[in-house]
Amino acid sequence: MDNIQQQLFEGSRLRLSAIDLEKDPDVESKWTHDPDYLRALSPDTARPLSPFMVKKKYEGIEKEMKEKRNSFYFTIRLKEDDRLIGFTKIEWIEWNNGAGRLAIGVGDPEDRRKGYGSESLQMILRYAFAELNLFRLGTFAIPAYNTGAIRFLERAGFVEEVRRRESVNRDGKRWDTVSLGLLRDEWKR
């Protein structure tokens, strides 16, 4: 698992790369018009973003990475055609505690359920634990209606650590949010 010869940013079908400020905003803007995508990622209010707004978001991410040095954001691209299919990030890193927060998303519904999430998750976990030497990763609050994401993370070894009861209101119904965590030793197993 800690093989020095293993590619850090490439898997069998995917690679993790930097943001392309010229091409990526148009792609991600289209994802933000899908309320299912937005609601799966965050309990925040869903709203579409223009390419200009996405570009500004990216510029803010890059500025924060450079200034605070406690976050790492990667785009997920298909190796065969360099097409953007998602993102993954580790942020809110507490270096003294070896802890950070993980998020991952695959944008286009046509790219989901093809194993891309699993492949990119394995790459970002290796980066977090073997390269950054983190001790633990947690997730952001995942709305309990996103059972696919919760199961996906549990299959990778994450365990439920925090449940905030009825903390999200969607379509007139209250939902819990769940935060999961994974320790380096659990990842190694």
Give residue 3's pLDDT: 58
Give residue 176's pLDDT: 95
Give residue 83's pLDDT: 96
Domain ranges of the chain: 14-141
CATH number of this structure's domain 14-141, picked from the four choices 1.10.274.10, 3.40.50.2300, 3.40.630.30, 3.40.50.720? 3.40.630.30
Q: What is the pLDDT of residues 65-120, one digit of tens each?
A: 999 999 999 999 999 999 999 999 999 999 999 999 999 999 999 999 999 999 99
What average pLDDT does this structure show over 139-164? 94
Give residue 43's pLDDT: 73
CA distance 9 to 15: 5
Q: Is the pLDDT of residue 5 over 80?
A: no
Q: Is the pLDDT of residue 1 over 70?
A: no
Q: Is the pLDDT of residue 6 over 70?
A: no
